[in-house]
Amino acid sequence: MSRLLTILLAACLALASVSVRAADDADVARLQARMDTLQADPAVGRMAAFEQMEARQAIARLDDARRSERAGMLYVAERRVEIAETAAAAESARRELAALDLQRSELLLQASRRDAERARQEAERLRIQSQIQAEEAERLRLAAEAEAAARTDVEQALTSVTGKQTAQLSAARRKEAQLARQEAELVSGAKLPPSTFESRGEVFTLPAAAFAQSRLSADGQAGASALAAYLQIGKRGKVRVDGYDKDAQVARARGEALKAALVAGGVPAGQVQAAGKTAGASAKKAAEVIVAP
């Protein structure tokens, strides 16, 4: 009877051991299946390679662990699998966000170029219209010479028409310049210096912070890069660069340094003239770039 009880007890222990081992194998299989699913996913399977390697190593250690180490190894393996899944998803999201940012920048640049092209076309249309108006005005003026009494009225009408056309053309050119500024800043990644429209053309003013004595500072290099991109958009006239300082050599060197930066940025050297002006530079004005109309 005692022998029979011993055999039954041994059989029960063996069945319990098989049951525990089966449960352990099920945990390993479950975790391996999650990793296989992650690796087979075409969207994230190749991402977070280091985390995936650590997760598989943890599963392998779980599979080889002794019974006393099993609970801790199972916890570590599950956390490693979760980390691998989360890291892969995060890396996928980062890549998707970067792709969307790039697409957005490309769309903004394309839209800016389209707007600039429309502005250039509008400026050309107004220029032709202004030329036609001027020719028509001249014809009317010549015809009016035979009628002295009507000459004053005709000349007043011509002055009004010409003034309106000139104002429209000036507005179109300003719009074109504004869109060209936006495109130049997108292309260069830097801000253009402030500018004003004067009788001598569009005048960009660089502050004292743009120079370290006679050389361009980091801010000055960024502004020159944006200016070079701007001058290469559309049809720009001659460019004059004036450096300012009480010391004539420093003033001249500032003008030459700014010209060199524009030429390095792609502006033809023959298009740019540099000079120095012996005058006190201020915090707001240490150099000027004048773009001829």
Q: What is the pLDDT of residue 24?
A: 57
Q: Where are the domains of the chain?
A: 2-96, 121-185, 191-291
Confidence grade of residue 22 (pLDDT, cut at 50, 70, 90): low
Return the CATH number of the domain spanning residue range 191-291: 3.30.1330.60
Pick from 258, 246, 248, 251: nearest CA to 290: 258
Instruction: List strand residue ranges (DSSP E) for the chain, in order.
Output: 195-198, 201-206, 211-212, 215-216, 239-245, 272-278, 287-291
Q: Is 162 exposed, middle or buried (0-12, 13-18, 19+ CB in 10 A)?
A: middle
Pick from 115, 137, 136, 128: nearest CA to 169: 128
CB 35 within 8 A of CB 45: no
> Does residue 10 surpass a pLDDT of 60?
no
Question: How do residues 101-133 score in pLDDT, each as one tens digit?
Answer: 888 988 998 988 888 888 888 988 999 988 898
181 alpha-carbon distance from chain centroid: 14
The set of residues, in sequence order, having a beta carbon less than 8 Å from that of 226 and lying 6+ positions away, is 184, 185, 188, 190, 191, 192, 193
Cα 267 to Cα 253: distance, rounded to the nearest angstrom? 19
What contacts 24+ positions apart, CB below 8 Å, involve 189-195?
A: 189/225, 190/222, 190/223, 190/225, 190/226, 191/222, 191/223, 191/226, 192/223, 192/226, 192/227, 192/230, 193/223, 193/226, 193/227, 193/289
Question: How do residues 39-86 score in pLDDT, each as one tens digit?
Answer: 889 988 888 889 989 989 989 999 998 888 898 899 998 999 999 889
CB 204 within 8 A of CB 227: yes
| This prediction's pTM | 0.44
Amino acid type, 77: A
Residue of higher predicted confidence among 3 and 53 = 53
